[in-house]
């Protein structure tokens, strides 16, 4: 494959992955918001402070599950492209890229190296979205019952 075709291929793959993973993440956020709305009217039971803390812990685990799915999808693509010989290495690289940690001890082959930046940008934006959602939920929890 010549240079331009390889570039277009990488852009197409990264665009499709970013769109798909962002959609999945959006579904997780919508489901989390829906669950919080459904429990909003609950006035009895566990004291409010503990209920709010539990809600934030569960929501954080829920969002980390969404991030985990994104990382696994990137790893699956890296393996499908035969960029790595085994799934563990592909998963490790995907996690390090997605979280923007970037150790540099494992690298993509040169023909796929642009995908690492796309994985990092995808993770950076979605971690930001998750953080913004958690901040919004925290603010709403503080205001409920005032």
Sorted by where each begins, the domain ranges of the chain are 3-143
Neighbours of 53 (CB within 10 A): 13
- Residue whose structure tokens are 């569960």: 58
Structure confidence by residue, pLDDT tens digits, 55-94: 999 999 999 999 999 999 999 999 999 999 999 999 999 9
Structure confidence by residue, pLDDT tens digits, 106-134: 999 999 999 999 999 999 999 999 999 99
**Which pTM value belongs to this model?**
0.91
CATH class of 3-143: mainly alpha
Please, what is the Cα angle at 13 between 12 and 15, to 5 degrees?
65
């Amino acid at each position: 494959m010549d240079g331009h075709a390889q570039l277009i291929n990488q852009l197409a793959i990264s665009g499709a992955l970013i769109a798909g993973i962002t959609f999945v993440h959006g579904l997780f956020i919508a489901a989390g918001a829906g669950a919080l709305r459904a429990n909003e009217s609950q006035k009895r039971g566990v004291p409010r402070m503990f209920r709010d803390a539990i809600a934030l812990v569960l929501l954080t685990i829920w969002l980390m599950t969404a991030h985990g799915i994104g990382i696994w999808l990137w790893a699956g693509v890296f393996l499908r492209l035969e960029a790595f010989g085994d799934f563990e290495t592909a998963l490790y690289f995907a996690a390090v890229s997605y979280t923007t940690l970037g150790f540099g001890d494992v690298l993509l082959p040169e023909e796929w190296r642009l995908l690492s930046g796309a994985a990092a940008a995808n993770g950076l934006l979605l971690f930001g979205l998750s953080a913004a959602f958690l901040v919004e939920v925290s603010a709403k929890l503080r205001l409920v019952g005032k």
